[in-house]
């Protein structure tokens, strides 16, 4: 299990904390490390996927990018769980809202992650697997949102393989109560389940599929701090 560095992560074993907070955008990880962590040390810059380890209120934690889409997050989280001894991965990302009560800046805590991906086929299961969050992490995230007064909803998200869809099916997912769409949580939850580890994904609503509201790329990188506060409460 000490086959490190890997082809994708340049850290040596022990340079990454047991809890890793991950963002799709490596610059969001950099922003978080510089804003929140004490003495952050860069442990990875292979392919520009920045990763840092430091401390937060005396507790050791790492933050790292994971890129866009299920193949990308699946690769990085597999290596973190299986080669670096990581026990917990918390994804912080942006999502498009399907819910009329969720607005820009609100948080979505992903209790489960539906997907149109074929990622689960590799497990050769005799049915459909339901990727879910670790309940302890989810419960603490809810308690933190309540304590800090952050607007949030808990429920299902869609981890889609397609950003620019030729056949958008918003109504199909909405009628099943899916709150928002993103592109990675299902693979994170499946990798965690297979490795016997913990995972939790949470999102800031960056755009709304019903109203057309949207944030800028700069806002997504530098202003989605509420979910960072919540993620840090889980370490």
User: What is the rounded distance in angstroms from the CA atom of residue 88 to the CA atom of residue 57?
Assistant: 18
207 in active site: yes
With 80 as the cut, is the pLDDT of residue 222 above it?
Answer: no
At 87, is the secondary structure helix, strand, or coil?
Answer: coil
Please tell me the distance from the alpha carbon of residue 231 to that of residue 235, in angstroms, as a whole number.
7
Q: From the candidates 116, 161, 207, 229, which is the catalytic residue? A: 207
DSSP of 132-201: B--HHHHHHHHHHHHHHT--EEEEEEEE-S-SS-SS--HHHHHTTT--EEESSHHHHHHHHHHHT-EEEE
For the cut 60, the answer to whether the pLDDT of residue 1 exceeds it is no
* pTM score over 0.75: yes
For 5-56, what is each residue's pLDDT tens digit?
A: 999 999 999 999 999 999 999 999 999 999 999 999 999 999 999 999 999 9
In what helix (H) or strand (E) does residue 23 lie, and over which residues does it extend?
strand 19-23
Please name the fold of domain 19-232.
Answer: Rossmann fold (3.40.50)
Pairing mode of beta strands 51-56, 59-65 = antiparallel
Query: Domain map of the chain by residue range?
Result: 19-232
115-170 pLDDT, tens digit each: 999 999 999 999 999 999 999 999 999 999 999 999 999 999 999 999 898 887 78
């Amino acid at each position: 299990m000490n086959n490190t560095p890997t082809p994708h992560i340049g850290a040596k074993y022990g340079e990454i904390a047991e809890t890793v907070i991950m963002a799709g955008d490596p610059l969001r990880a950099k922003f978080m490390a510089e804003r929140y962590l004490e003495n952050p040390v860069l442990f990875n810059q292979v392919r520009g996927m920045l990763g840092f380890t430091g401390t937060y209120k005396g507790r050791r934690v790492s933050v790292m990018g994971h890129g866009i889409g299920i193949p990308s997050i699946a690769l990085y989280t597999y290596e973190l769980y299986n080669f670096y001894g990581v026990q917990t991965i918390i994804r912080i990302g942006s999502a498009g809202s399907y819910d009329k009560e969720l607005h820009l800046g609100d948080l979505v805590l992903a209790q489960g992650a539906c997907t149109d991906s074929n990622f689960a086929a590799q497990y050769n299961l005799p049915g459909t697997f339901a990727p879910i969050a670790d309940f302890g992490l989810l419960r603490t995230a809810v308690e933190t949102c309540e304590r800090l007064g952050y607007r949030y909803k808990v429920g299902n998200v869609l981890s889609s393989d397609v950003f620019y869809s030729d056949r958008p099916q918003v109504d199909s997912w909405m009628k099943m109560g899916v709150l928002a769409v993103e592109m990675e949580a299902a693979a994170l939850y499946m990798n965690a389940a297979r490795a016997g580890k913990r995972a939790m994904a949470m999102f800031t609503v960056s755009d709304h599929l019903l109203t057309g509201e949207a944030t800028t790329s700069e806002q997504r990188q530098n202003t989605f701090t509420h979910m960072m506060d919540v993620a840090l409460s889980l370490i």
